[in-house]
Structure 1
Amino acid sequence: MKAYVFPGQGAQFSGMGKDMYDGSDRAKDLFKKADEILGFEISKVMFEGSAEELKETKVTQPAIFLHSTILAELMDDFNPDMVAGHSLGEFSALVANGTLNFEDGLKLVSKRAMAMQKACEAEPSTMAAILGLEDEVVEKVCNEIDGVVVPANYNCPGQLVISGSVKAVEDACEKLKEAGAKRAMVLPVGGAFHSPLMEPARVELEKAINETTFNQPKCPVYQNAVAKAVSSPEEIKQNLIDQLTAPVKWTQSVKAMMEDGASEFIEVGPGKVLQGLVKKVDRKMPVSSGSFE
């Protein structure tokens, strides 16, 4: 069974999507449609923008979404048995499996990016990567810290990202080093994604999601918030709303996909981060990047 997975923020690069735009009329149409929907030429920023320009919130999330969804559209043999996306990538996965149409997906991603930016500006907050500790140890230390700090991304065994207010995250990093973490490093991000500090963004996105049509998907999506196969549009909607303040259970999702019969993982979008994470769960699992001819 083929599992298609879609990357999240951080995978962007200058020139992304240009090969698709140049090689396909369909891609050209979709990029032009995206420029209209967003009200600025995101295609130009993707193809020619600097790393700094691509890091802007209003650009990053839609850019990765566009790269992934247009690539899925162009792939000859795109016929998923199951899909999943890491954080932002969940929106790409939902377009790829037919739950959301392209336009609605893009509008939600744009709204999500802006809502998250606002929440980041409301309170100084950050995230940190913790390497070389059992998940349970990280969870226990987070619980003991004063202030808001929670596990945010269960990326793969031995790699967990925590999220919260600046002081609480720094305190947790010190404690986690004492507990034997190989590394505990604060990340260069603008906010505490997938933590209770994203509550204002969750409220804003909930309204937009509830006003959007969700269709019956062609195949199940393994969602970040629950780490299991979901096919009900109503459940998908709720899990997508919960996702902003809940942890990304990526390790658990990959394991669930394997248990349910995934025999190959194809990463659709920029970069190869998810292929590496899948290999950390099972190094024998075949992985590849989606491509178009």
Structure 2
Amino acid sequence: MKHAFVFPGQGAQFSGMGKLLYEQNDKARGYFEQANGILGFRITDIMFSGSPEELKETKVTQPAVFLHSVIAYKTLENPKPDMVAGHSLGEFSALVANGVLSFEDGLKLVSIRAQAMQKACEINPSTMAAILALPDEKVEEICKQIEQESGEVVVPANYNCPGQLVISGSLKGIDLACEALKQAGAKRALVLPVGGAFHSPLMEPAREELAAAIEATSFHRPSAPVYQNITAAAVTDPQAIKANLIAQLTGAVKWTQTIQQMVADGATNFTECGPGKVLQGLIGKISREATTDGIQ
């Protein structure tokens, strides 16, 4: 019986996130104020009372979700995860939780990542779409076919749970794919309100910028294995963790495969740290045996 801690990604944010932590816990308040100093603006004001539009700004969203997740984890009394994982951005939170990154370095990298992704979105107008109730293999096959026939970028980006795969690509590529996937029997092919094609080759400009920042940052040996998005396998070597974290920006988030592997390696209980309950819902669909809970 092993206890896993998991950390959510972009999209989990909501107005009021982290407010109770700040008000009720001195240690949490210290971390939030440290974060305001590192970022150079009062992100806490936006987290606690900002509008959904303000929270959706990339320079805010990613650090906000990271801060809520990491600070919630750091206020726990003696947490001892046997393994950790994070969905996309959440991988950075997981790496702070298991001692690979310091709080300060984790936050700086997340801020750099957010701004680099924003710039990449402006260079290549692009988007993502959620495909429901179609086997992963069928989605992969149709994406590949559309790329070959049209020359447009369209790739699987987030394997969230069986029957839910998010694709990523150029505006035209996503349009063509949604049409073809609906014809192939998808229950829904829903274009998402996101700024760009995350986890696709169109994020290459951001990957280069993030890679330079990651290479210049100290990564330590983890206290527990991290199951990384790009490999869906346990990793403990700091150099491999760095390489996988860089590859994640242009590669797919294999969340379904990650949870399946963690369960196969003995995980019985998953605690989601941070805003919302998205990961608890996905884990319930991936594994019937696993139990879940959350800390906000």
TM-score, scaled relative to structure 2 = 0.97
Deviations 1:48-103 (A, max 9, x none): 11111111111000000000000000012421000000000000000000000000
Structure 1 residue corresponding to 2:199, chosen from 194, 197, 207: 194
Structure 1 residues 271-290: aligned runs within 5 Å:
271-290=276-295
> What does residue 209 of structure 1 align with?
214
Secondary structure, in 3 states, of the residue corresponding to 2:68?
Answer: helix
1:177 aligns with 2:182: yes
**How far apart, CA to CA, are the structure 1 residues paired with 2:186 and 2:140?**
13
Matches of 1:280 and 1:29 in 2, distance apart?
Answer: 37
AA aligned opposite 1:149: V
Give the 4+ runs in structure 1 shifted more than 3 A: none
* Residue in 2 that maps onto 1:222: 227
Question: Which residue is 1:105 aligned to?
Answer: 106
Count of aligned residue pairs for this structure pair: 291
Pick the aligned partner of 1:248 from 227, 230, 253.
Answer: 253
Instruction: Give 1:257 shift.
Output: 0.1
> Residues 1-293 of structure 1 correspond to what in structure 2 (within 5 A)?
1-145=2-146, 146=150, 147-290=152-295
Q: Distance in 1 between matches of 2:87 and 2:34?
A: 25
Q: Let me know the Cα RMSD of the aligned residues.
A: 0.7
Q: Deviations over 1:23-57 (max 9, x none)?
A: 11111111111001000000111111111111111
Cα distance, 1:290 vs. partner? 2.1
Give secondary structure in 1 for the equivalent of 2:168.
Answer: strand
Q: Distance in 1 between matches of 2:229 and 2:289?
A: 23
* 8 Å Cα contact 2:222-2:236 kept in structure 1: yes
Q: Distance in 2 between matches of 1:245 and 1:31?
A: 30
Q: Secondary structure at the match of 1:263?
A: strand
Q: 5+ unaligned residues in a row in structure 2: which ranges? A: none
| Equivalent residues of 1:75, 1:290 under 8 A apart | no
C-alpha contact 2:263 2:290 (8 A) present in aligned 1: no
- Structure 1 segments unaligned to the other structure (5+ residues): none
What is the CA–CA distance in structure 2 between the aligned matches of 1:178 and 1:51, rounded to whole Å?
34
Q: CA deviation at 1:107?
A: 0.2
Fraction of identical pairs, as percent? 66
TM-score between the two structures when normalised by the length of structure 1: 0.98
